[in-house]
Amino acid sequence: MYRQKNTKTPWAIALCATLLTWVSTVSAQQTNGSVGLIQPLDDSTASLASSPTIFIDYFNMSRFWLFRVAVGFTVLWILIGGVMFMTSGNNQSRRSAAISRIIWSVVGLLILLFSGVILRTLNSLFFIR
């Protein structure tokens, strides 16, 4: 059997190597002060001086968005459990799995709701301001 030689592969490798050599290098330099976030969740800037708090500030700004996403997942999980329950028929194992899925999704949402209260209570008990 005659095997055709692939002539496109060496050209593709040469083209990729040429393009990679033309990539410009980025020079990183330290910046002091504040930098506007590229896609801020609020009208705010992040300070570079206190780097550990940047993540905390960004998380605090995104907390409400994350909560809405979690509520959406809970509703979706309840709907999936409801469909499982309706299609279970007389199969008791599928029915109990569907009920368990619904119950644990509601429990997870309640834990999410009360996590802020629990953390604030523990923080005020163990740390004095």
- Report pLDDT digits (tens) over 52-74: 677 777 777 888 888 889 999 99
Residue recorded with tokens 């206190």: 50
- Report pLDDT digits (tens) over 103-126: 999 999 999 888 878 877 887 777
Task: Give 37 or 86, the one with higher predicted confidence.
Answer: 86
Write down the pLDDT at residue 99.
Answer: 95
Write down the pLDDT at residue 61.
Answer: 80
Would you say residue 25 has pLDDT above 60?
no
* Three-class secondary structure of residue 35 per DSSP: strand
- Report pLDDT digits (tens) over 65-100: 888 899 999 999 999 999 999 999 999 999 999 999
- Report pLDDT digits (tens) over 5-17: 666 666 777 776 6
Q: Which two tokens stand for residue 63?
A: 């907390």
Residue recorded with tokens 């609020």: 42
pLDDT (mean) for 15-43: 60
Alpha-carbon distance values, 110 to 22, 100, 117 (Å): 54, 15, 11
